[in-house]
């Protein structure tokens, strides 16, 4: 006998549970917390300082065209710079004679001569020669080599500027092509500057992974249980688990290195007469191993953003973090794709917002400082800023006396503002990957979003530790 249809009334729908993807909006608000932006800024400052130190130790090894280009030869430098010595409006006669006596011209020496000559002129003449001096300094800059780190930083800034410009133009294709060009930078470094790529790359990974884990732990506590922990606590958490944080991405890299060593040995067999037959017979095994390695590479790249949050949220060790990340991506690939794309688009919007706030702050400060009189230092640095151009202009050469010192200090403050935008990028990536981990864990294992490892629990689980169990048993 069929039961009659019954009506069901629904008082309300918890869209946050039905549509988990809506929880991704928390990542943006979490990333905008001042303590996380400051932690991101500190990471950027550390990497900038160590990169500048690298360039100071190893010198300029990249051509003026940027990454992938070689420095100009002495003959090419001489051909570009020597004509500047004959223009007395640019370089004084005595400085030109001294430079002309040198066997090879150095761009730094020519630039210093041009700037010194300009500053030695009477104030009323400087405006007349300013355009010619600026063009000559640009010519010197286009001939001057750069350090590897400086070239890398410029490439990253240019690609980020392209991404912002494409986002403002609502050109999705250009956004993804600019992101692809940004991701090509490590490949160029490994091909052209392997030493820098390995040494500075490993150092950068250590700094970023530990820093990201600290930000991730802070964001996870706020997201799951609305607990606000100080940066010292989150950093202590990350430093205590540095083995797991570094080991999670390190294990697949070590596996690939061992596999590559095995393939190299097999290659030796193929080169030896007689043994090459055995090597050829084993080539099928090499192909199978390479197929497994290819799957591992793809899976690791897709799951890489979940490795650090696995430690920050569940206090997992390195193998457990890998297993969790691989399982989430493998079992719920469509969820992962939808969440990752949503987080990426939200990140672009957030970057536009943060860059807009920074540009407004710079412009408002410049406008306010010039209400009564335009300060020479502010004018030399370009005054305001655009959303896609937050760094100050390099025109301190036109300043004299204490105005030069003022220009250097203001330029430093402008750079700090741009550094905070970069710090927000690191903060957002850490917060978004943390929220993604919570959502993927919910979609895969149906584990509550409020569950997070806390001191007193067994690491890697939500089970109470021995001390907590004994305390519960002793309580009345």
Say yes or no to pLDDT of 438 above 80.
yes
The pLDDT value given to residue 135: 87
Alpha helices in 304-332 (DSSP H): 307-314, 318-331
Whether 425 has a pLDDT exceeding 90, the answer reads yes
Residue 376, both tokens: 């020479």
CA–CA distances in Å: residue 445 to residues 260, 324, 432: 35, 10, 20
Poorest-confidence range of 18-22, 132-136, 215-219, 320-324?
A: 18-22
Mean pLDDT to the nearest integer, 389-409 = 82
Confidence band of 289 (pLDDT split at 50, 70, 90): confident
Choose the weakest-confidence range: 185-194, 197-206, 393-402. Answer: 393-402
Which H or E element spans position 395?
none
Tell me the pLDDT band of 103, cut-offs 50, 70 and 90.
confident
Whose tokens are 């500075």? That residue is 200
Q: Is the pLDDT of residue 475 over 50?
A: no
Q: Which helix (H) or strand (E) holds 433?
A: helix 402-445
Q: What is the mean pLDDT of residues 413-423?
A: 92
pLDDT computed for residue 444 by the predictor? 92
Q: What is the mean predicted confidence (pLDDT) over 317-337?
A: 92
Q: What is the pLDDT of residue 2?
A: 52
**Does 455 have pLDDT greater than 50?**
yes
Angle between the N-to-C axes of helices 74-85 and 107-120, in degrees from 0 to 180, rounded to the nearest 10: 10
- Given this model, what pLDDT does residue 149 score? 93
Mean pLDDT of the chain: 85
Residue 123 vs residues 119, 126, 398: alpha-carbon distances, Å? 8, 5, 10
Q: pLDDT of 104-115, one tens digit each?
A: 788 888 888 888
Does 3 or 463 have the greater pLDDT score? 463
| pLDDT score for 4 | 55
Instruction: Tell me what pLDDT residue 473 has.
Output: 38
The pTM for the full model equals 0.86
Distances 447 to 14, 268, 333, 440 between C-alpha atoms, Å: 17, 50, 18, 9
Q: Please give the share of the chain, as a percent, with pLDDT higher than 90.
A: 39
Say if residue 394's pLDDT is above 80: no
Domain ranges in the chain are: 74-141, 340-445
pLDDT of residue 30: 95
- For 25-82, write each residue's pLDDT tens digit: 999 999 999 999 999 999 999 999 999 999 999 988 888 888 888 888 888 888 888 8
Question: Is the per-residue pLDDT at 91 higher than 70?
Answer: yes
Q: Is the pLDDT of residue 469 over 50?
A: no
Rg (CA), the chain: 29
pLDDT value at residue 142: 85
Cβ neighbour number for residue 339 with a 10 Å cutoff = 22
pLDDT of residue 129: 82
**Is the confidence at residue 339, as pLDDT, over 90?**
yes
**pLDDT band for position 411 (50/70/90)?**
confident
């Amino acid at each position: 006998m069929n039961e009659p249809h019954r009506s069901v009334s629904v008082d309300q729908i918890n869209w946050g549970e039905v549509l988990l993807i809506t929880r991704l909006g928390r990542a943006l608000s979490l990333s905008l917390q001042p303590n996380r932006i400051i932690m991101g800024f500190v990471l950027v400052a550390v990497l900038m300082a160590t990169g500048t130190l690298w360039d100071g130790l190893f010198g300029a090894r990249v051509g003026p065209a940027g990454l992938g280009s070689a420095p100009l030869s002495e003959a090419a430098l001489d051909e570009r710079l020597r004509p500047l010595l004959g223009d007395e409006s640019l370089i004084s006669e005595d400085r030109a004679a001294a430079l002309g006596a040198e066997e090879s011209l150095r761009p730094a020496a020519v630039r210093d001569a041009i700037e010194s000559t300009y500053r030695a002129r009477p104030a009323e003449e400087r405006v007349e020669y300013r355009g010619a001096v600026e063009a000559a300094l640009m010519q010197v800059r286009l001939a001057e080599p750069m350090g590897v780190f400086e070239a890398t930083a410029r490439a990253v800034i240019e690609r980020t500027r392209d991404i912002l410009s494409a986002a403002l133009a609502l050109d999705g294709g250009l956004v993804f092509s600019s992101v692809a060009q940004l991701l090509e930078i490590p490949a160029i470094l490994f091909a052209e500057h392997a030493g820098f790529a390995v040494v500075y790359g490993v150092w950068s990974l250590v700094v970023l992974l530990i820093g990201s884990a600290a930000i991730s732990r802070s964001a996870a506590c706020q997201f799951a249980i609305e607990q606000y922990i100080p940066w010292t606590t989150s950093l202590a958490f990350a430093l205590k688990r540095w083995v797991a944080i570094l080991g999670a991405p390190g294990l697949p890299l070590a596996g690939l290195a061992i596999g590559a060593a095995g393939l190299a040995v097999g290659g030796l067999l193929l080169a030896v007469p007689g043994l090459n037959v055995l090597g050829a017979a084993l080539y099928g095994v090499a192909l199978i191993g390479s197929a497994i390695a290819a799957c591992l590479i793809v899976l690791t790249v897709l799951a890489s953003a979940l490795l650090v949050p696995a430690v920050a949220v569940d206090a997992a060790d390195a193998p457990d973090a890998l297993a969790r990340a691989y399982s989430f991506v493998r079992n719920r690939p469509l969820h992962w794709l939808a969440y990752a794309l949503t987080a990426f688009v939200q990140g672009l919007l957030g970057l536009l917002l943060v860059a807009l706030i920074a540009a407004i702050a710079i412009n408002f400060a410049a406008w306010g400082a010039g209400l009564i009189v335009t300060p020479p230092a502010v004018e030399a640095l370009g005054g305001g800023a655009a959303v896609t151009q937050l760094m100050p202009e390099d025109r301190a050469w036109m300043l004299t006396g204490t105005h030069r010192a003022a220009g250097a200090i203001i330029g430093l403050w402008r750079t700090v503002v741009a550094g905070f935008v970069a710090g927000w990028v690191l903060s957002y990536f850490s917060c978004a990957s943390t929220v993604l981990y919570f959502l993927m864990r919910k979609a895969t294992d149906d584990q509550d979003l409020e569950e997070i490892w806390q001191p007193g629990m067994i690491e890697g689980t939500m089970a109470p530790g021995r001390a907590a169990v004994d305390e519960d048993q002793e309580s009345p």
